Amino acid sequence: MLLDTVEHETGPNPEWCVLWLHGLGADGHDFAPIVPELVRRDWPALRFVFPHAPVRAVTINGGARMRAWYDIRDFDLAHRADLDGVDASVAQVDALIAREAERGIPPQRLLLAGFSQGGAITLAAGLARAQPLAGLIALSTYLPMPLALAQQRVQPAAVAQPLFMAHGEFDPVVPVAAGEAAMQAMRSLGFEATWRRYPMQHQVCAEEIADLADWMSARFAAG
């Protein structure tokens, strides 16, 4: 079954899609307010799709049920992610990408974005793309698997996808070192990764939105 989503279109007959994955405990409404701050007048018409993650028990939160892309089993980043949950969420994201193709927006005109846990799914899904997307956006996040496993999963065509990664220097939830390690891992796999750091915590800031908009403008121009 397809995930429920929140959608915003910036104009009639959108030519591009931005599929944006929220963080742990949030939902698809969380990043919807970013649309007017991000979008520029000269961009093509876009469809923003903000899916709601499934509700599941989260181990580090005492088993409380909340929206999550996968279970978080440990505070240690090396063992944090439930890989079966990661794979299930990647499959659900792939289904949404396929739906956009059916609605007239092919993968090469779709940007996959995610924040925190959603960014981890963005990286995992990006690795496995046999048909490249227009780009990947991973904010305040980490690679949810060991590099050796990522090397096994990466598809040859996937490394053609441009990647934007950004992180807060004072992030208490996902340390900036984890974000930088993920960026270096993606580069070692062959991805062209743009990396930005900002004086903030586990959040987004105006400077980050402006830098992301510049990067997205380049993707639209290339497309």
Catalytic residues: 116, 171, 202
Cβ-based neighbour number of residue 75 at 10 Å: 9
| Helix extents (H) in 20-82 | 34-38
**Bridge partner list, 68:** none
Cα 185 to the center of its chain, rounded Å: 16
Per DSSP, the residues of 147-193 read HHHHHHH--GGGGGS-EEEEEETT-SSS-HHHHHHHHHHHHHTT--E
**Close Cβ partners of 50 (under 8 Å, ≥ 6 residues apart):** 5, 6, 7, 8, 20, 22, 28, 29, 30, 31, 32
* Amino acid found at 130: A
End-to-end, the C-alpha distance of the chain in Å comes to 30
Is residue 35 within 8 A of residue 8, CB to CB? The reply is: yes
